[in-house]
Amino acid sequence: MIQTTHKQKILISACLTGEKVRYNGTDLLIEHPLLKQWHRNGRLVSVCPEVTGGMSTPRAPAEIINGNGKTVLSRQTTVVNNIGKDVTQAFILGAQKTLQIAKENHCIAAILTERSPSCGSNMIYDGNFSRQRIKGMGVTTALLEQHNIRVFNQEQIEQLALYLNP
Ligand code: SF4
């Protein structure tokens, strides 16, 4: 069994904890023994960057156009929803507030939802709303990684445990 220390806090996407904060009002609850253990130990800090950035639930789905979280943060590309509204500022604000929450809680790593334009870490959608995936990270992930908070996705919980306690 993988043991981890009790001090280190872990940021987690709110939708993975069962909060119905996704664009369509659903959650993506994951059941995993390590997550349950960390939750019992008070080590999980749950946040939804998009809601924290001021977006409502439900909301129109959004994708990064011709770029990724890094290019959004450097203002080279935008985030647009499927009815054509530019929501870049809300995504950047959500990322900044999430970083602040992570720092205030001394989170050293995060488990964020893969493929989200905020929370994705390896894959996002290509900006055409065609469900086509491309390599890249979301806006919040990019900002957290810039501040040395390592991001894992929901399929990488064992890797995170090893990262916390190599
Ligand atoms: S922004 Fe992140 S936490 Fe919020 S619903 Fe999307 S994937 Fe989940």
Task: Read off the pLDDT of residues 37-64 as tens digits, 9 standing for 90 and up.
Answer: 999 999 999 999 999 999 999 999 999 9
Could you tell me if residue 4 is inside a domain? no
Could you tell me if residue 83 is inside a domain? yes
User: Which ligand 1 atom is the nearest neighbour of the CA of 14?
Assistant: 3
Could you tell me if residue 97 is inside a domain? yes
Which ranges in the chain belong to alpha helices (H)? 33-40, 49-52, 69-73, 88-104, 139-146, 157-164
Is pLDDT above 70 for 11? yes
- Which residue's alpha carbon is at the smallest distance from atom 4 of ligand 1? 48
Backbone angles phi, psi at 58, to 5 degrees: -70, 170
Could you tell me if residue 3 is inside a domain? no
Give 151's contacts (C-beta < 8 A, 6+ positions apart): 109, 110, 111, 112, 121, 137, 141, 144, 145
- Which residue's alpha carbon is at the smallest distance from atom 6 of ligand 1? 22
Q: Domain range spanning residue 82?
A: 9-164
Work out how many domains the chain is built from and give that number: 1
User: Which ligand 1 atom is the nearest neighbour of the CA of 22?
Assistant: 5
Residue 101: which pLDDT band, with cuts at 50, 70 and 90?
A: very high
pLDDT of residue 6: 52
Query: Per residue in 45-80, is it b (16+ CB within 10 Å) or e — as a string?
Result: bbbbbbbbbebebebeebbbbebbbbbbbeeebbbb
Could you tell me if residue 1 is inside a domain? no
Residue 4: which pLDDT band, with cuts at 50, 70 and 90?
A: very low
pLDDT of residue 93: 98
What percentage of the chain's residues is helix, strand, coil (to nearest 5)?
35, 20, 50
The pTM assigned to this predicted structure is 0.96
Could you tell me if residue 2 is inside a domain? no
Could you tell me if residue 28 is inside a domain? yes
What residues flank ligand 1, with Cβ below 6 Å? Answer: 13-15, 21-22, 48-50, 113, 116, 118-119
pLDDT of residue 42: 96
**Dist. CA 35 → ligand 1 center (Å):** 17
